[in-house]
Structure 1
Amino acid sequence: MFVKRRRIGPATVYLGDALEILPTLDPVGDVLTDPPYSSGGNVRDRAQATTAKYLSTGHPQYPEFQGDTRDQRSYLAWSTLWMGRARALTRPGAMLVSFSDWRQLPVTSDALQCAGWVWRGIVPWDKTEGSRPQKGRYRVQAEYALWGTNGARPQAGPVAPGVFRMSVPRVKHHVAGKPVDLMTGLMTVMEGPILDPFMGSGTVGVACVQKGLAYVGIEVDPTYFEIACGRLEEAVKAASRSKTVAI
């Protein structure tokens, strides 16, 4: 079912296809992930290399990532499948948080509900005025974390922000990389182990290490799998040094 499995501190990570690996996993706490959006207005746009779609000319180059060429019908079907398999691993009341851009926002909300989650809302990520400008148009300044629950969820515990405002990281490890602080903020109301079926460069996993939460990550691309493992190893070392200093 998987090509590789590694344990790195509180993280267990798999190299392979999420749809194949998810049914083999033990139960988890909540789900936080950033799947490939398959954005683009037509077949030509979707079929472009991911670095061409998501980077302006002159930016640093990153490895391409897989699974970003689906049209909306296949994206709905695929998202319903993985969201359903993820829900089967969670307890009643557990949370699913999945990122989307504006193009896939409607179909992602449909998939979430088709998979049996109760859709609860949208948490915008305001990328600030440093995001990509478009002359004569509104700046494309936000992405969105759609969230739902596995049935009813008690209103108890801490309160998390409903909007996050922070810039895209200056140093990224993935063409679509997001800030670690964004993920730690979203985890304010989550319990581990955190399941991340689309690990990418491991940002959610790094956030879990920083918060002391167990993490289960899956990545289909070998290059990004190795990048994520390297980041997780560094995060575990940093957390260990921090504990030593505190003592």
Structure 2
Amino acid sequence: MNTDRNNALILGDSLQILAGIEAGRFDALITDPPYSSGGVHMGSRQQSASSKYVQNGQKLAYHEFEGENRDQRSHGYWMTLWLSECYRLLKDGAPVCIFTDWRQLPLTTDALQAAGFCWRGILPWDKTEGVRPQLGRFRNQAEYVVWGSKGGMPLSRRVPVLPGVIREPVRKADKHHMTGKPTELMRQVVRICEPGGQILDPFAGSGTTLAAAELEGYSWYGCELTQHYHQVAGGRLRALGACFN
């Protein structure tokens, strides 16, 4: 288990926090930012997150979070801002993995490249057949990881061949955030980082990326804007025996 005291979980706006970190520090960027998705017009996009993220017509019983009400243009601009800051903070050749949904997939690939990164592909996350069945429609059971790197990505990196699709259901006992990802999914994604590396997550949420990094032996650095989820993430990491600032 990782015991690196360089680990950190910081409460605050990631754009402000990242601006104060030295360049070239991190070995990978792996994050699940707010999608600003859901709804077909501006009014519905500006609703609370709990009004947009529902299951079987019912609101999900999770604490609200911020950053879900930008329109398409402002979301794209914001994505480019924080990705550009992350570009400065990553080492040359570092991998980048960003979660998104089908609505924001084109925008996410654009923002990745606008920030200077090399776009290398899309990793589908298959949430399995239990997700959002609707008669007469294709089942909306996938989200996506847009991935790339800061410049060249040598084949000599000490990383094995990784799956091209990850099939992993959402389990209630493992879901600590309205849009939280399964820990096992994140354990597979973080393996894109070279062994011993430090992973950056500017949108830590309930801490799943950081927990996966801890379990896989990486050090990590996370930012979270919502105090409630900052506390949830801290509790999960302490339960794993993680040391952090």
**Per-residue CA distance 1:138-178 (angstroms, 9 max, x = gap):** 11100000011100111133111111001012221101111
- Residue of structure 2 equivalent to 1:144: 144
Aligned AA (1:165): R
Partner of 2:52: 53
Unaligned runs of 5+ in 2: none
Residue 8 of structure 1 contacts residue 233 of structure 1 at CA under 8 Å; is this kept in 2? no
Structure 1 position 11, deviation (Å): 2.8
In the alignment, residue 163 of structure 1 is paired with which amino acid?
A: V
Counterpart in the other structure of 2:212: 207
26-35 vs 100-109, which deviates more? 26-35
Is the contact between residue 9 and residue 236 of structure 1 (CA under 8 Å) also seen in structure 2?
Answer: no
Residue 169 of structure 1 is matched in structure 2 by 171
Which stretch of structure 1 is more off in the superposition, 202-211 or 47-56? 47-56
Following superposition of structure 1 onto structure 2, how do residues 22-61 of structure 1 map, counting pairs within 5 Å? 22-26=18-22, 27-40=25-38, 41-56=40-55, 57-58=57-58, 60-61=60-61
Partner of 2:200: 195
- Specify the alignment match of 2:122 in structure 1: 122
Instruction: For residue 25 of structure 1, report the CA deviation from its aligned partner.
Output: 1.9
* Range moving further from structure 2, 95-104 or 126-135: 126-135
How many equivalent residue pairs?
232
1:196–1:218 Cα contact (<8 Å) kept: yes
2:4/2:219 contact within 8 Å kept: no
Whole-Å separation in 2 of the counterparts to 1:113 and 1:128: 30
Q: TM-score with structure 1 length normalisation? A: 0.89
Per-residue deviation, 1:60: 4.7
| Partner residue, 1:12 | 8
Q: How far apart are residue 9 of structure 1 and its match? A: 5.8
The equivalent residue for 1:62 is 62
The alignment-based identity, stated in percent, is: 47
For the residues of structure 2 that align with 1:9 and 1:101, how far apart are their CA atoms?
34
Residue type at the aligned position of 2:185: L
The answer to which of 51-60 and 98-107 deviates more is 51-60
- Conserved 8 A contact 2:14-2:223: yes
| Aligned match of 1:135 | 135
Tell me what 2:186 maps to.
183
More helix by share: 1
Q: In the alignment, which residue of structure 1 is the partner of 2:93?
A: 93
Partner secondary structure for residue 186 of structure 1: helix
Unaligned runs of 5+ in 1: 1-6, 240-247
Would the aligned equivalents of 1:159 and 1:188 in 2 still touch at CA under 8 Å? no
Equivalent-residue separation in structure 2 for 1:97 and 1:160 (angstroms): 13
- 4+ aligned runs moved over 6 Å, structure 1: none
Aligned position for 2:73: 73
Whole-angstrom CA distance in 2 between matches of 1:227 and 1:66: 16
Aligned to 1:200, the other structure's residue is in SS state coil
TM-score by length of 2: 0.90
